[in-house]
Amino acid sequence: MEIKNLSIEEITKLTKKGEVSVKEIAKQTLEYIKEKENTIRSFINIDEEKVLKDAEKLDGSEKKGKLFGVPVAIKDNMNLEGTETTAGSKILKGYISPYTATAVRKLIQEGALIIGKTNMDEFAMGSSTENSAFFKTHNPVNPEHVPGGSSGGSAAAVRAGEVTASLGSDTGGSIREPAAFCGVIGMKPTYGRVSRYGLIAFASSLDQIGPFARNVKDAAVMLEVIAGFDPNDETSVQRTDTDFTSLLEKEIKGKKIGLIKEVMDFDLQEEVKNSFEKTASALQKLGAEITEVSIPHLKYSLPAYYIIAPSEASANLSRFDGVRYGLLVEDKNLRETYEKTRTEGFGTEVKRRILIGTFALSAGYYDAYYLKASRVRRLIEKDFEKAFEKVDTLLTPTTAKTAFKIGEITNPLEMYMNDIFTIPVNLAGLPAISVPSGTDKKGLPIGMQLIGKWFEESELLQIAYAMEKEIGG
């Protein structure tokens, strides 16, 4: 039985009945990954021995859990006790996690088989996974193209069939953009829905862990597993409405879906535009009411984000000084040891963002940049509040264009523009999902983004499920 194209439901049915052992799944998965990794390179680190041992342990256990025996990958910025966690950076090379992130622990509790750690842009800063300090990941659909980023490895691994599902983290689109580029489902939950404990912080007010999967139902199951209150994350919310699967198959007749009119102000690739229109009419056919709404501050979300995220990053990344973990380059005194370690350990994009953040937070500029951006962020939140008075969900393309070629974009601002439709969602703390919706002329996947109300993931997934069925991925 070949498991690489099966869904979570199909796999767990087999494993729970004992028709396929988890060891068999582990072996198949590792073998297939070996074959695929020559071209894709999704993984930074796979400990084969551990995977096989974990599989044996699962086989010897009571066969239960929502993910029993399901091969899952995690982004390399999530701690898993006893394994190397690098966040795609040289500065963390050799760092062995002393504990496990809550989201990962929850996967394990439900019987998931953790296969390995996936490649990413260094500290999740990037939209193409080209900023990994180790190597580039290739888009499984066309290896000359980027898989998107920063969770490019997690998206590519799922698309290539290396794993059934994976976890990524999304600060400005780092789950949804690679999901769109690789043609898989990628979901960013409401801020606070999933614990960030054990996730290496980039921008703490924006970061959120979420799933990649090949279908909406699998993504819903994954979210159900990882969501929930965690006292170890002070921004974690105390809610118990974490059933994301019961409503999936309910019809969406009468749902109000808003199209953000400002989206059309941006330069959309022809096929993306067509797909957007096609998706809207498909939803209409399902009985949804389509209305136009406005997010007047949409275009300001990019500059606001590129002040807020680097500001938070400059503070978060100050902990990497060579003293407690990772790279250490000693010099004659402590100050110079810090400087040498950080200068050698961080890549160019990370340094660029640390410097932007340091500038935006510095005396004399704080009000004009950081505080101003935080006020604009409030206005963006209010725009969404207003839009959601009229509609249940919003629809936009996930990205304006399909995956670009490796090496094609070298200007940082041009790279940042990739996230124009995903960034506002993080600024407002909303949940959103990217669903595949056809391909362009070159066969590269197009993704559509549905944005839900705060904590309405259940409804969001319901609409995504209907949309997936209608437009057929």
Active site residues: 75, 150, 174
Residues 197-226 close enough to bind another protein by CB under 8 A: 205
What does the block give as tokens for 209? 């862990």
Nearest residue to 452 via CA among 442, 443, 462: 462
Binds another protein by CB under 8 A, chosen from 143, 351, 440, 469: 351
Query: Would strands 432-439 and 256-260 be described as parallel, antiparallel, or unpaired?
Result: unpaired
Helix, strand, coil abundance in the chain, percent, nearest 5:
40, 15, 45
Binds another protein by CB under 8 A, chosen from 28, 358, 408, 473: 358
What does the block give as tokens for 84? 């190397």
Place of tokens 């930074």: 44
**Backbone conformation region of residue 468, classed left if phi is above 0, alpha if psi is from -120 to 50, else beta:** alpha
Stretch that binds another protein, among 53-61, 162-170, 294-302, 393-401 (CB under 8 A): 294-302
Binds another protein by CB under 8 A, chosen from 247, 278, 379, 408: 379
> Toward another protein, which CB reaches closer, 294 or 362?
362
Cis before 150 (ω within 30): yes
Nearest residue to 119 via CA among 68, 160, 82: 160
Q: Are 136 and 44 in contact (CB under 8 A)?
A: no
Under rule CB under 8 A, residue 377 binds another protein:
yes
Site string for another protein, 136-175 (x = CB under 8 A): ----------------------------------------
Give dist(CA 274, CA 206) in Å, integer.
31
State the number of binding residues for another protein (CB under 8 A). 70
Stretch that binds another protein, among 38-46, 220-228, 277-285, 366-374 (CB under 8 A): 366-374
Give dist(CA 310, CA 322) in Å, integer.
21
> Toward another protein, which CB reaches closer, 41 or 342?
342
Q: What angle do CA 262, 180, 265 make, to 5 degrees?
A: 15
Residues 40-99 close enough to bind another protein by CB under 8 A: 81, 94-96, 98-99
DSSP helix/strand/coil, 66: coil
Residues 3-32 close enough to bind another protein by CB under 8 A: none
Nearest residue to 395 via CA among 234, 280, 318: 280
Site string for another protein, 88-107 (x = CB under 8 A): ------xxx-xx--------
Under rule CB under 8 A, residue 340 binds another protein:
yes
Under rule CB under 8 A, residue 355 binds another protein:
yes
Q: Which residues bind another protein (CB under 8 A)?
A: 81, 94-96, 98-99, 190-192, 205, 231, 234-235, 237-239, 297, 299-300, 303-304, 306-307, 314, 318, 321, 323-326, 328, 330-335, 337-340, 342-343, 346, 348, 351-352, 354-356, 358-359, 362, 369, 371-379, 381, 412-413, 427, 429, 454-455
